[in-house]
Structure 1
């Protein structure tokens, strides 16, 4: 292949291929020279200096593969004196990132958005530590453009997800309309969410109309402090979670009693492999038969299930006023039921009744946040965990936020 054809294929601005140094079955190396004399950009200050050239050296950078062979480019780099600090500095090329071309780095960034660093490294022929370094630098560079000046959303949801064992969490803020993570930080609770509200400023806080939350005290306190006029909505997906946990607490208690009293039929129904029947809103005919049998064997568990179903019917109310009447009735029933987990839940919903009812004013949920949490857990498992929390936060933006490569294609 002619050298000018290779130059045209490589499309490197200001450079041409002058020699093919070596060509093997696995790699190919080219020598590059500048097509014409140009002023150099200082790597120290980023400015153009018209000072005399001190010396010329060469570096070897890896480019994208050509015909399934790895491509190495030998690139001249001039050294000259920086007028800012008087040091001898090497020139900077916009298309080079360390020991790789910019397009090679971008390919790493795209691959790591769909697979693990180890698999991306295997595909490109580099080790996973190098992939980690390239990927992190690329994500940090993009985050300055896309995340640092993020606009406040109209509707947002906030939730936390564990990134390591021993209660180590990160908090994610999701734009409900864009369905993307727009901000995250390590930690959880009021002090963490305060950082987001301070980042967007008072004008940004005024733009937010509604916030969906799981009802955590820290998130509620921070939101009420910074968003004076925004609606806080207790997400009904988390409400269902609280109800299911209350039913499961009753199931465990009654299962323990049934085993002590050798009630085999009841123990079989309340066993953990049947617990999902108690949590479902729609059941098959076979599952319905099991529940009918349960109603005769244990009234307490069946009553707990009815309380759960009664509460969920609240969400079909036509407006906030009707929902309020239904909620008041349910809270009274739950407290009078004598079932400890539902008595506690009744008082909890009484304290947070306004947040529950706000759903009928602005019907937003944190369903997007929950879906994003599942996606985060998936790529965390694929990578067998993360040790660098800053990198983990950037990966969340890459997989679920504004650093997704598909947004720029």
Structure 2
């Protein structure tokens, strides 16, 4: 062996030894960043297993989501934008930070922030825009997976009403949102009976079949066409996330897209206070069902589809328990990450049965990602585009 080769081997041995024994201080190893795919052929070992031999998830990465109004859309959008960041995917973005990329009754919208990919396509859509498959298919990398969000319609109506505060202006100004909602629902009962033609000071059409419109059904009128369209949505969307079964929906999403638990852990955002969660009378429920029948059809089909998907997943209840346990640990770890336990560099959980790598690992840095809001993510992705143009 010549002198050069001997020096090279000695240098390699010293480097690997230093990396192994100094890793805790350097915070280099065994840290694995959230979303890393473990494709490195490094000789370093993790849990006495070469990284190159650890099982890898063949993740589905091209994803387009219908971000319906007030259906946990910000949480899901942040989750998808985090996934896009971790996997360096091209995202459909507005020109400046916003949760909307294009929303109108037209079948397509102007792309404000062009793709950097050679073919001009996008890999992730996560912001507000009305669903239109033909147009989406023309701007997305194919094949891509469709995700939709739904919520119990009257609960969504309440949340959207509180958000827009439409009835609190002008001559009919009402200070209390609870009183405003009660007044509108009372008027709504008269409207569906035909006793009145409109609700003064309130644009009722804006609140009618909100989810169905977001899913692109704004011009579908006939009952048979509505039923067929809802069935098309059920058939074409890989996952229809149900707000009232959010964790269950994410377990289904994780299975269908071959993701890791690190990809779907979350922290709650924009959750209404308990004082806002008033109950409804039977008359109010019936009136709203008559007012927005398409939303109820869509929601009930979503619940039906989700339950069918759950039945197809082996050991679903075990997976759900594992996910809830990990999400709880993440919440606790991330709450402490910026306070008394800031020195703890990462949360590592071994023997994670339903993660394809067999373990779960996130870092302090990942906590910032998990808790980051949608506008922060949009700004990040816009800045990245500007930086690497």
Fold in common (TM above 0.5): no
Q: Which has the higher contact order (CA 8 A, sep 6+)?
A: 2
TM-score computed with the length of structure 2 as normaliser: 0.33
TM-score computed with the length of structure 1 as normaliser: 0.32
Q: Looking at CA atoms only, which structure, 1 or 2, has the larger radius of gyration?
A: 1
